[in-house]
């Protein structure tokens, strides 16, 4: 009986050790359409709750329309991450390829976050260049 109890306890400890890294990783997906200059996640009520850990952002940006014969170059897009409190965390910058339906990937490490919190994205470009863009990606802590 004692041997069986020890085996069960050892199995449970082993299971916890194996599952802990998986449970501590956390992610949240996002998507956006940028038809003018700004998409503000806070103004739109779009928040991403993540656990503490190393925060990173990755994804793609794709031009899907050029309604007014926009220029041959697309302006750089900044995807800034803020805590719900308004504290700036970091930015991923991406300059999409000026070809319809061609995705450009981005990835950026944003450092260690010490507590579980909610984040929002502030996506912008310096001026509207006429290109309509869609984007998608993931915020991850691990």
Q: Chain centroid to CA 31: how far?
A: 9
What percent of the chain is modeled with pLDDT above 90? 75
Please report, for the chain, the start and end positions of each structural domain, with discontinuous segments joined by +: 26-141
Distance CA 18, CA 109 (A): 25
Q: Provide mean pLDDT across the span 68-94.
A: 93
For residue 19, give Cα distances in angstroms to 51, 54, 120, 138, 139: 16, 18, 28, 22, 21
**9 Cβ neighbours under 8 A, 6+ residues apart:** none
What confidence score (pLDDT) does residue 25 get?
A: 58
Q: Between residues 23 and 102, which one has the greater pLDDT?
A: 102
Instruction: State the average pLDDT for the chain.
Output: 87
Q: Provide mean pLDDT across the span 125-140.
A: 95
> What's 114-125 look like in SS3?
CCCEEEEEEEEC
Other CB atoms closer than 10 Å to residue 14's CB: what's the count? Answer: 10
pLDDT grade for 20, boundaries at 50, 70 and 90: very low
Q: Does position 41 have pLDDT exceeding 60, yes or no?
A: yes
Model pTM?
A: 0.80
CATH code of domain 26-141: 2.60.120.1310
What confidence score (pLDDT) does residue 72 get?
A: 83
Q: Does position 18 have pLDDT exceeding 50, yes or no?
A: no
Other CB atoms closer than 10 Å to residue 48's CB: what's the count? Answer: 21
Q: Does position 3 have pLDDT exceeding 80, yes or no?
A: no
């Amino acid at each position: 009986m004692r041997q069986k109890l020890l085996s069960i306890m050892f199995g449970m400890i082993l299971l916890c050790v194996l599952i802990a890294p998986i449970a501590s990783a956390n992610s949240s997906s996002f998507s956006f359409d940028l038809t003018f200059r700004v998409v503000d996640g806070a103004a739109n009520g779009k928040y991403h709750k993540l656990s503490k850990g190393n925060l990173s952002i990755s994804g793609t940006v794709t031009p899907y329309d050029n309604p007014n014969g926009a220029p041959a170059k697309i302006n750089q897009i900044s995807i800034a991450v803020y805590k719900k409190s308004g504290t700036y965390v970091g930015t991923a910058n991406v300059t999409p390829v000026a070809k319809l339906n061609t995705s450009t990937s981005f990835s950026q490490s944003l450092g260690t976050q010490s507590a579980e919190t909610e984040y929002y994205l502030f996506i912008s470009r310096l001026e509207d260049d006429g290109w309509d863009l869609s984007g998608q990606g993931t915020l991850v802590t691990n």
